Amino acid sequence: MAPTRIPPVTAGIAAAVAVVLAAACWVFFPPETAGRALAGRPDVDLPLPWPAEGQSSAEVQNLGSLGSRGERGPVPIASVTKVMTAYVVLKDHPLGPDEAGPEITVDEQAEAESASAEESSAPVRAGRRFSERDLLALMLVPSGNNVARLLARWDAGSQDAFVAKMNREAAALGMTSTTYTGASGVEDSTTSTASDQLRLAREVMRNPVIRAIVATPSLRIDGVPGAVVNTNTLLGRDGVIGLKTGSSTAAGGALMWAARAGNGALILGVVLHQSPGGTPAAGLRAALDTSEKLIAAIQRELPAATR
């Protein structure tokens, strides 16, 4: 049988369609160059001082994306993990805005881990009872790893069972590049992207309990000596109202943040993998510094861009 011949006109149309489709794919799915993804097209295009390393993403709720920059592959996120831990605990054990919730007894493991010099912890004693809300505060404000794992055991019976819940919630939120392997973030194998964590920030800021806790610069909790101080030192500057820091040698510094614009609009952003490989303290300083510059620029540029 003779091969079927495509008429010249049909072939020309097919070629033109292929060119148009290829151009559309380039716009909506930009290519990567030397391992770094080119920036996607933002809904609101502002001249912003994006961090020169790592990855970052930001948006204005009810307005749209401000864009993303940097590498798109998953990286360690350290204690930013605790945002998902709080989200899962409150989904399983919801609290009203003014509710303290059930009392939870501190176990011996949480007390033993409170003396660790290797990770951030909260000073809790075995047998002491704290409300669910107070334990969420001890996890999110001073970033108590031992409290994150205590909450995981209380909620699911074991940390492994709780981690399975974390990953199910991440999948439900469309966080396709995220893997949780612990409740605290101390494991370098817990990885995510700035765009995935921005999805989570959008979701948790709908919860009044999380909003209130992460906006607290410091607090006092019965049974814990002294003031509990927030690791997010940007609170109260440039409209910042939360969210959560993270730092480790592998992760560098990380910050999920929320701020109010001058008109009251909610601005959300995530900065990951700042100065990795050094000390956690240096990485955290880098994440706070780059985020502060980014937030200040958004506050400055947004009014003119949205008039």
Give the model confidence (pLDDT) of 247-280 as tens digits: 999 999 999 999 999 888 999 999 999 999 999 9
Cis amide bond preceding 243, omega within 30: yes
Residue carrying structure tokens 């993303």: 68
How far apart are the C-alpha atoms of 201 and 208, rounded to whole Å? 13
Q: Write down the pTM of the prediction.
A: 0.85
pLDDT digits (tens, 9 = 90+) for 194-244: 999 999 999 999 999 999 999 999 999 988 988 999 999 999 989 999 999
Which span out of 4-13, 115-124, 221-230 was modeled with the highest average pLDDT? 221-230
| CATH architecture observed for domain 42-305 | 3-Layer(aba) Sandwich (3.40)
Spans of all domains in the chain:
42-305
